[in-house]
Amino acid sequence: SCSPSEKLDLDAWKKVMKSGVQEEVSETVSEHKELSSLAAAREILEMWRLAGRSVPENISEEQLKTFMECPSKSAKKKYLKYLHLKELYKRNDKRKMDEKRERRLETQEQASKTDETRRNSFVCLWANCMDRAYSWRVAQSMIFGQPLVFDMSYEKDMSAREVANTVRQLVLSEGCNRRSVDPFHIHFCNLKDDSLYHKEFIKHYREAWGKLLITVTDQCYTDVFPKDKLIYLTADSPKVMKTFDHNKIYIVGSMVDRSIKTGVSLARAKRLGLETAALPLEKYLLWNTGAKNLTLDQMMHILLTLKDTGDWKKALEFVPKRKYYGFVTKP
């Protein structure tokens, strides 16, 4: 029992207890809110998947939070489509790797037979001889061949993924040039050390990068060659290329542009005061709708064919068939 002077202040005690309970409740409510919002987002994804939309099958908690932070519904759809395509590419790459592994195992089993071993040894010998012949041609082209310049100054205009695609196309171009009858002397100009281009080249070639029979420099092509001999090939040029000139030095911009930013290479050529030219695609092809940009390896095939034959029809057969209906009967 308490004396009247020691009576508790019940109102003050209630306030203290309520404030403590409210803090605990607010913390638990925020946690429950976050968990419930994640669960609701997963339910939305499941509904969209059942509706046939492009939704990834597996999505991490971090990706789910990024999805919830998207400012609009269209942004959420685009982000889910990106994750879905990324998942498809990963799955296809895994399938291709599995198929490649199975083919390699089958080849190894077949090679265990005596006849196969003899044949493979002959193929290896032939491949080594051909590789030496290709290397000899490229070595000769570095002394006597016509230069072909790849402009490596577009790194700031591309994402890391686009730079990786560009380097992949350049690797294909170098291989195509090495196997040709009369190869170009390839120059990679404006290629800086430790740039994204350089790192991707090291990934592809590894220790062979230092042994490639090409010229790599961080200088601009205007500092290496006379300006009056340079022609910048760009789809945005108002001047159409009529014939292949063996005395000129052609420049190709090393850029893969998914957003198709027009005029970037043309503006660069104008700033440097260089002559420009575009391939006569509409003159020889019944062009379909779409941009007239070609991949770097397609450009290499076209230029090599023009250099060897001078036949535009034969050269433009390397343009993808989906881009045109057919050839013009009388150009």
Q: Which domain range does residue 169 map to?
A: 145-278
Write the pLDDT tens digit of every residue in 89-109.
Answer: 888 888 888 888 888 888 777
Same domain, 179 and 65: no
CA 42 to chain centre: 31
Q: pLDDT averaged over the chain?
A: 81
Backbone angles phi, psi at 35, to 5 degrees: -65, -40
Same domain, 157 and 252: yes
Q: What is the pTM of this model?
A: 0.60
Same domain, 149 and 234: yes
Is 189 inside a domain boundary? yes
Is 251 inside a domain boundary? yes
The span from the CA of 55 to the CA of 81, in Å, is 6
How much is the average pLDDT of 215-231? Answer: 93
Residue at a domain's end among 71, 92, 113: 92
Q: Per-residue pLDDT for 239 more than 90?
A: yes
Per-residue confidence (pLDDT) for residue 330, from 0 to 100: 73
Same domain, 72 and 156: no
Same domain, 234 and 168: yes
Same domain, 270 and 187: yes
Backbone angles phi, psi at 147, to 5 degrees: -70, 145
Same domain, 261 and 159: yes
Contact 130, 181 (CB under 8 A): no
Q: 119-128, 243-252, 307-316: which range is least confident on average?
A: 119-128
Same domain, 88 and 150: no
Same domain, 169 and 268: yes
Q: What is the CATH number of the domain that holds 252?
A: 3.40.1280.30
Write the pLDDT tens digit of every residue in 134-172.
Answer: 677 778 878 888 999 999 999 888 888 899 999 999 999
Write the pLDDT tens digit of every residue in 1-54.
Answer: 455 545 556 666 666 666 655 555 455 445 445 556 778 777 887 887 777 777
The span from the CA of 166 to the CA of 174, in Å, is 12
The span from the CA of 182 to the CA of 137, in Å, is 7
Q: Per-residue pLDDT for 249 more than 50?
A: yes
Is 113 inside a domain boundary? no
Is 285 inside a domain boundary? no
Q: DSSP letter string over 153-214?
A: --GGGS-HHHHHHHHHHHHHHHHHHHTSSS--EEEEES--TTSHHHHHHHHHHGGGGGG-SS
Per-residue confidence (pLDDT) for residue 314, from 0 to 100: 92
Same domain, 231 and 164: yes
